Structure 1
Amino acid sequence: MEDTVETKDRIYEQLARVGKAISSPKRLELLDLLRQGPRSVEVLACESGLSVANASRHLQVLRQAQLVEVEKQGKQVIYSVGDQKVCEFFQTMCSLAEARLADFERLMRKVAENDPYLEEVDRSLLMQRAREGSITVLDVRPAQEYAAGHIPGAVSVPLNELEERIQEISPENKIVAYCRGPYCLLASRAVELLRSKGFEAVRIRDGVHEWKMHGLQLER
């Protein structure tokens, strides 16, 4: 019986490794970034506002819990999520937080209230209108994330290139911008820039993972 109790305790200890790994807000942010595609430590540090040393320490904790993998490419160390189950776990955790945490729900409601250009859309209708050419679906994530998978019919213009490439976007169409998902600010910033230039532009909450979660296909 003692062996059974000890085994049970060790099982929960293993589960706690995952809980410990995701107990840091910054580690969650790093994991969310890696869901979009592999990245070097330097890129992750820049995008998360961490020093390279701090980013490396957080990534080591995630690696010890087998949530991320690492690969050497020349002099660079490239991190990626362990597998699709890690992405699904992250998405489930977000859904649970939205459903059960009142503070989280209030924060998300505040984001929506402070963003007049956030629009709820029917996904099937969005694809239909994109195919018809009556709207332009704009992916403002970095180009490598777009290449890894994007909403069908979306055009890639990364946010950091948007102002210099704005002439590539038709002013006759309504622009529907998206980025990495509900907690990403890239699409909001893109919409602000587009509207300041006279475009009709809105953003949607969905990123590619929300799209996949609803059983919809991505393009590559």
Structure 2
Amino acid sequence: MEKRQFKEGVYSGISQMTKALSNPNRLEIIDLLAQGEKTVEVIAQEINASVANASQHLQVLKQARLVSTRRQGHFIYYTLASPEVFGAWYALRSLSIRQIPEVKQVIDDFRHSRDSLEAISIEALTEKLELDEVVLLDVRPAEEYRMGHIPRAISVPIDQLDLQVKSLPARQEIIVYCRGPFCVFADEAVVRLKNQGYRATRLEEGFPDWKRLGLPVAFPQ
């Protein structure tokens, strides 16, 4: 094999994967599947697309070996093909925030309008948890919480927050986390909690970022 043929073969193969990632809906699907496996119907609802459209995006990701599937009864469940897929998404996400001013501006404008610019890092959260200084809320859907969560986190899905807010300790700081830095559940929760007089802050990143660091993961008993 000639050197040029070798290089063209390698880079061409890699480009097939990057092509699969060159669509905003497919990037959102990758971000979503970092929480755990989901059916096409759930994915379609989350990305505000038809089932047919979501299925097409999933097939592109599957052909690029970025997602894998399993069948259970009449349902097909999709999941990330490996932890490296989230690693690639994490690197792309971080690079975009640093290098593309428009992305950073959109994030800052959104959070400034909701008074949720302030956030706490994972490192700071672990210190507060060790000192038992905070109440930690997981505001993702209950099914995602069941697939794994940060130890000591209480499951309070965002659509149930208003019903459960009075059961939270009034004088203790509350840290809220969701799927990741582009997830808006935590922002919404912080706004609602502050309006009720609570001291609330969101976690800067999300549960997949916690796992990426190799930190302990808990599951419901």
TM-score (norm 1): 0.89
Aligned CA distance change for structure 1 residues 185 and 29 (closer, same or farther; 3 Å): same
1:49 deviation in Å? 0.4
The reply on whether 1:70 has 2:69 as its aligned counterpart is yes
1:12 deviation in Å? 1.5
Which stretch shows the higher mean deviation, 206-215 or 185-194? Answer: 206-215
Q: Which amino acid aligns with 1:154?
A: A
Which stretch shows the higher mean deviation, 199-208 or 176-185? Answer: 199-208
The reply on whether 1:80 has 2:107 as its aligned counterpart is no
Aligned CA distance change for structure 1 residues 215 and 129 (closer, same or farther; 3 Å): same
Q: How do residues 106-117 of structure 1 correspond to structure 2 at under 5 angstroms?
A: 106-117=105-116
1:174 deviation in Å? 2.0
Partners of 1:201 and 1:138 in 2: CA distance: 10
1:140 deviation in Å? 0.2
- The equivalent of 1:147 in structure 2 is 146
Partners of 2:121 and 2:27 in 1: CA distance: 29
Partners of 1:212 and 1:156 in 2: CA distance: 17
Partners of 2:132 and 2:16 in 1: CA distance: 49
Aligned CA distance change for structure 1 residues 189 and 129 (closer, same or farther; 3 Å): same
Q: How many percent of aligned residue pairs carry the same amino acid? A: 37
- The equivalent of 2:177 in structure 1 is 178
CA contact 2:136–2:175 (8 Å) conserved in 1? yes
- The equivalent of 2:156 in structure 1 is 157
CA contact 2:115–2:191 (8 Å) conserved in 1? no
CA contact 1:127–1:152 (8 Å) conserved in 2? no
Unaligned 5+ residue runs, structure 1?
none
Q: Which amino acid aligns with 1:12?
A: Y
Partners of 2:140 and 2:175 in 1: CA distance: 13
Give the aligned CA root-mean-square deviation in angstroms. Answer: 2.1
3-state SS, counterpart of residue 149 of structure 1? coil
Deviation per CA, 1:142-195: give whole Å up to 9, x if none. Answer: 122223332232111111222223333222322211111110101111222223
Q: Which amino acid aligns with 1:22?
A: L
Partners of 1:79 and 1:123 in 2: CA distance: 28
- The equivalent of 1:206 in structure 2 is 205
Partners of 1:144 and 1:103 in 2: CA distance: 33
1:25 deviation in Å? 0.2
CA contact 1:127–1:153 (8 Å) conserved in 2? no
3-state SS, counterpart of residue 163 of structure 1? helix
Which stretch shows the higher mean deviation, 161-170 or 22-31? Answer: 161-170
Unaligned 5+ residue runs, structure 2?
none
3-state SS, counterpart of residue 119 of structure 2? coil
Total equivalences in the alignment: 219
Deviation per CA, 1:19-51: give whole Å up to 9, x if none. Answer: 110110001001110011100000000011011
